[in-house]
Structure 1
């Protein structure tokens, strides 16, 4: 079963054998639903455990697990809310801003993970710091590649647009100053000639 992240050791519920897992999951689901009293849920779990020849779970151990579940559920709800907000922002963001928004979001998550470690009185391991640094490095590299690629696309478009304007202007017999004005005003292409 899952390891208790705060204390770094397994709880009596975590130490139950695998055959008790369905009953523990049912108890956690009942806690999550919040329709029954915690003691009633614990007693039901304990009756299953006793039938299996296991020791019953104490009130304090079950309460700690319930608190852990409530905290975890709250964090999951917050993460879903943040994801919904980010998804909305991603839909609103111009295409070039999506990468930047994702980049900044991941940087914030990495920072939050490291801060969470320090707030829980457990310092971030060198492995965690190495992975965080590597992640940030890769994000920055990806951002640079994105910027370079976007610049190439814009430059390629500008070149093609300039050539197309020159060909069309030549066929139509437009004056050079009219061509320059079209480049600046209509296409937003800088006159490079």
Structure 2
């Protein structure tokens, strides 16, 4: 397990994360706009800090802004990717049973859990006990959700089959079919052999 005292910056918030809300909103807005270079963004933010009479040590550095911008772009890309995939999947699944959507969500959860464990392993060389504990708890919850979803899907299908069998029985009787034919239709719908 890696000793957290080996890296004194781990867990410490960046200078940009510590900016007052109004300065941070200005910075985020300029970065989202995309019309300005990072140097122009840095200059505008630093000028704003001066105009507000805030301490000089609040001014972000070029490298700090670059790290923050890169981090925000990576998060934005992930969000755009998730949104794009979600839209495609919703379009593809459309009117399919909710069980398919639940299965998809559970698979995404499993994939993300695996990726988080792999990333932790690559960064530190080891996965710490807390990470393993959290991962196992997350896996247990995902599996529990999968079982609940499967059970619910079976209950929905049974209720649908029961209702369809009743309707088929009523229609078959009205059509003058024999009791044996009606019973056969019900058995087929309900899956009884």
> Given the two structures, how large is their TM-score scaled by the length of structure 1?
0.70
How many residue pairs match? The answer is 181
Structure 1 counterpart of 2:96, from 93, 96, 100:
93
Unaligned runs of 5+ in 1: 1-5
Among candidates 136, 139, 142, match of residue 136 of structure 1:
139
1:9–1:99: structure 2 CA closer, same or farther, 3 Å change rule?
Answer: same
Of 51, 55, 60 in structure 2, the residue corresponding to residue 57 of structure 1 is: 60
Q: Which has the higher contact order (CA 8 A, sep 6+)?
A: 2
Q: Secondary structure at the match of 1:9?
A: coil
Tell me the residue number matched to 1:174: 178
Query: What's 1:103 paired with?
Result: 106
- Summarize the Cα distance change of 1:7–1:87 in structure 2 as closer, same or farther, 3 Å threshold: farther
In structure 2, runs of 5+ residues without a counterpart are 1-8
Distance 2:63 2:160 in 1: 67
Match of 1:25 in 2: 25
Kept in 2, the 8 Å contact 1:39–1:59? The answer is yes
How far is 1:35 from its partner? 0.6
1:74: how far off?
Answer: 1.7
- Separation of aligned partners in 2, 1:182 and 1:77: 49
One of 105, 119, 123 as aligned partner of 1:116 = 119
> Aligned-pair distance for 1:25?
2.2
Question: Which TM-score applies when normalising by structure 2?
Answer: 0.70
Q: Which residue of structure 1 aligns with residue 189 of structure 2?
A: 188
1:151-181 per-position Cα deviation (integer Å, ceiling 9, x unaligned): 445556656737x849x75x957163x3454
- Report Cα offsets for 1:10-42 as digits up to 9, x if no partner: 3333344x3xx3123212221221111221221
